[in-house]
């Protein structure tokens, strides 16, 4: 007989295995989210203390939108894990570009199978919706080279599970992107008429495109080639608008905008959102190609920056994510990213300027106080 935690874990894995196109009703999502909340309340003492200070417990919360969210800044202060941090199979750390490496946030992951089970069907739905199996060329270091990077773990899992022959990583943390080797590999696939999938951060792509432009080099990749970029330019002097990047992908690589998919994820989540562009193109839809879509087990709320209360559709606020794959940490994560709800998804509008929104600051302070009080005992 399965223990209660094994039963919940097994149900989540079965849900993820159904894929992205199988709907999950609001009632079913709510029931699962409340069970995950109760699971975390029981096992994550710091989070439970924070919830009590917010006046929210499994006995009082009846809607998933009312589950207390943890600000991303709190992952820099305390371990947020529903279990023993020492038992974590991986500890993924944020980049630390704004506050230095000593202030990097940490996401303790006890069960990587949940990450993998959520990742693969979502990527297939939004980056491989035509069922293509392509060589994947990554501008991101492998998990072996960057073991504390959730993005590197993600890309390595994708190459191993979904990449065709010739899939490879072309970057390392120390040496950076091997532009020459990457360009030679891409030229080989171009000559062979083999479509490819390029995966990388926006910053890495901008660097490669600069090199191509400087040397008067360009590609005309075979039809069916596609590109997934992720991340922005936080902590770097350079800013390249997404529209300009997509124009360069078209002009220098030969990849049309319909086949450019931006991924939106974060270290603190085990599920991701993607642009609707290729998903819609494959189905003949004509909607906002840059709206973000996610799997049924991941939901977003646009919240008021002051109160953290949900806003009506169409209003701009800060994004909160509720991810059922985050079983062993906290399922509700409050960001400082700006967004606006649209039909079927949301539009990502950048980050809140200046200091953290007041609601996030208050929540982070409350969590840290609760954790310290819980640690010190009665």
Is position 95 within any domain?
A: no
Give the least confident one: 139-143, 288-292, 302-306, 353-357. Answer: 353-357
Residues 289 and 308 in one domain: no
Range(s) of the domain holding residue 55: 4-84+298-376
DSSP H helix total and E strand total for the chain: 10, 16
289 and 303 in a single domain? The answer is no
Q: Is residue 336 part of a domain?
A: yes
The token pair at 103 is: 């202030």
Count of structural domains, the chain: 2
Q: Which of 143, 140, 114, 144 is nearest to 12 (CA)?
A: 114
CA distances from 231 to 193, 242, 342 (A): 30, 11, 21
Question: CA-CA distance, 298 to 65, in Å (whole number)?
Answer: 12
Q: State yes or no: pLDDT of 29 exceeds 70.
A: yes
Last residue of a domain, one of 293, 324, 340: 293
pLDDT band at 352 (very low <50, low <70, confident <90, very high): confident
Residues 126, 278 contacting (CB under 8 angstroms): yes
DSSP result, 40-80: HHHH-HHHHHHHHHTT--TTT--SGGGSPPEEGGGGGTS--
Q: Is residue 355 part of a domain?
A: yes
The pLDDT tens digits for 248-265 are 999 999 999 999 999 999
| Distance of alpha carbon 261 from alpha carbon 158, whole angstroms | 15
Q: Is the pLDDT of residue 291 over 70?
A: yes
User: Is residue 135 domain-shared with residue 279, that is, in the same domain?
Assistant: yes
Are residues 306 and 272 part of one domain? no
Could you tell me if 31 and 176 lie in one domain?
no
Residue 52: burial class (beta carbons within 10 Å; 0-12, 13-18, 19+): middle
Six-digit token string for 233:
């330019």
Judgement on whether residues 253 and 196 belong to the same structural domain of the protein: yes
How many of the other CB atoms lie within 10 Å of CB of 68?
A: 24
Query: Is 30 inside any structural domain?
Result: yes
Give yes or no for residue 64 having a pLDDT over 80: yes
Residues 198 and 237 in one domain: yes
Q: Is residue 101 part of a domain?
A: no
Question: By the 8 A CB rule, do 24 and 324 touch?
Answer: no
**What pLDDT shows up at residue 111?**
94
Question: What's the token pair of residue 310?
Answer: 């949900």
Least confident range from 57-71, 139-153, 341-355: namely: 341-355
Tell whether 241 is covered by a domain. Answer: yes
**Residue whose structure tokens are 């750390």:** 93
Domain boundary among 260, 276, 293: 293
Give the single-character DSSP code of 253. I
Asked, for residue 175, whether it belongs to a domain, the answer is yes
Q: Are residues 206 and 337 in the same domain?
A: no
- Whether 271 and 320 map to the same domain: the answer is no
pLDDT, residue 1, reads: 36
Neighbours of 168 (CB within 10 A): 14
How many Å is the Cα radius of gyration of the chain? 21
CATH number at residue 222: 3.40.50.980
- Reported as a single tens digit per residue, the pLDDT across 83-126 is 999 999 999 999 865 444 457 899 999 999 999 999 999 999 99
In terms of domains, do 22 and 146 share one?
A: no
310 lies in a domain?
yes
Q: Does residue 309 share a domain with residue 203? A: no
Specify the higher pLDDT residue, 374 or 117.
117
Residues 60 and 123 in one domain: no
The residue among 293, 316, 343 that closes a domain is 293
User: CB atoms < 10 A from the CB of 132, how many?
Assistant: 16
Q: What pLDDT digit, counting tens, does each position of 185-210 carry?
A: 999 999 999 999 999 999 999 999 99
Largest CA distance in the chain: 70
């Amino acid at each position: 007989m399965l223990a209660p935690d094994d039963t919940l874990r097994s149900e989540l894995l079965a849900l993820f295995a159904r894929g992205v196109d199988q709907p999950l009703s609001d009632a079913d999502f709510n029931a699962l989210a409340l069970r995950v909340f109760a699971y975390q309340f029981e096992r994550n003492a710091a989070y439970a203390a924070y919830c009590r200070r917010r006046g929210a417990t499994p006995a009082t919360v009846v809607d998933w939108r009312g589950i207390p969210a943890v600000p991303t800044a709190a992952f820099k202060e305390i371990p947020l894990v529903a279990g023993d941090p020492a038992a974590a199979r991986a500890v993924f750390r944020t980049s630390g570009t704004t506050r230095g490496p000593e202030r990097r946030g940490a996401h303790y992951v006890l069960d990587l199978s949940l990450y993998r089970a959520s990742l693969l069907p979502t990527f297939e739905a939004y980056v491989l919706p035509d069922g293509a199996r392509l060589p994947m060329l990554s501008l991101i270091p492998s998990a072996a080279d960057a073991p504390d990077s959730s993005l590197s773990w993600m890309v390595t899992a994708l190459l191993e599970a979904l990449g065709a022959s010739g899939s490879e990583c072309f970057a390392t943390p120390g040496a950076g992107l091997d532009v020459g080797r990457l360009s030679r590999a891409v030229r080989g696939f171009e000559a062979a008429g083999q479509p490819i999938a390029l995966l990388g951060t926006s910053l890495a792509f901008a660097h490669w495109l600069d090199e191509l432009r400087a040397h008067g080099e360009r590609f005309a990749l075979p039809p069916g080639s596609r590109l997934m970029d992720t991340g922005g330019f936080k902590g770097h002097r350079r800013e390249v608008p997404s529209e300009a990047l997509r124009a360069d992908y078209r002009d220098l690589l030969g990849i049309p905008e319909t086949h450019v998919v931006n991924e939106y994820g974060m270290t603190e989540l085990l599920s991701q959102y993607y642009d609707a562009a290729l998903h819609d193109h494959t189905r003949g839809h004509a909607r906002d190609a840059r709206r973000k879509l996610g799997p049924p087990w991941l939901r977003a709320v646009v919240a008021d920056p002051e109160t953290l209360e949900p806003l009506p559709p169409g209003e701009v606020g800060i994004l909160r994510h509720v991810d059922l794959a985050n079983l062993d940490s906290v399922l509700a994560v409050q960001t400082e990213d700006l967004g606006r709800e649209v039909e079927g998804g949301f539009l990502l509008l950048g980050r809140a300027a200046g200091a953290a929104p007041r609601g996030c600051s208050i929540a982070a302070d409350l969590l840290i106080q609760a954790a310290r009080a819980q640690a010190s005992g009665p």
